Amino acid sequence: MIADVKITPLKIISDNRGKVMHMLRKDSAIFDKFGEIYFSTIYHKSIKAWHLHKESTLNYVCING
């Protein structure tokens, strides 16, 4: 293990369409003034719908595909 590196188990939400994996959360003890980052995978020939939010600011990163 690398000195001062903290490992935190994070939630993975999985179903037959793919996974959503949290990376950072604003309620984490090791972060300050931050929202959250999560990763989403979509399996081949699957569809994921958008969710309704009254207001949202999003920053997306495509990690593959």
pLDDT band at 64 (very low <50, low <70, confident <90, very high): low
**Average pLDDT of the chain, as a whole number:** 76
Is residue 56 domain-resident?
Answer: no
Is residue 61 domain-resident?
Answer: no
Q: Are the C-beta atoms of 26 and 34 separated by less than 8 Å? A: yes
pLDDT tens, position by position, 47-57: 988 778 787 66
DSSP readout, 7-62?
-----EEEETTEEEEEEEETT-TT-SS--EEEEE---TT--------SS-------
| Closest to 20 measured CA to CA, from 48, 45, 44 | 48
Whether the full predicted model's pTM is greater than 0.85, yes or no, is no
Q: How far apart are CA 55 and CA 52, in angstroms?
A: 9
In the chain, how many domains are there? Answer: 1
Is residue 65 domain-resident?
Answer: no
Is residue 55 domain-resident?
Answer: no
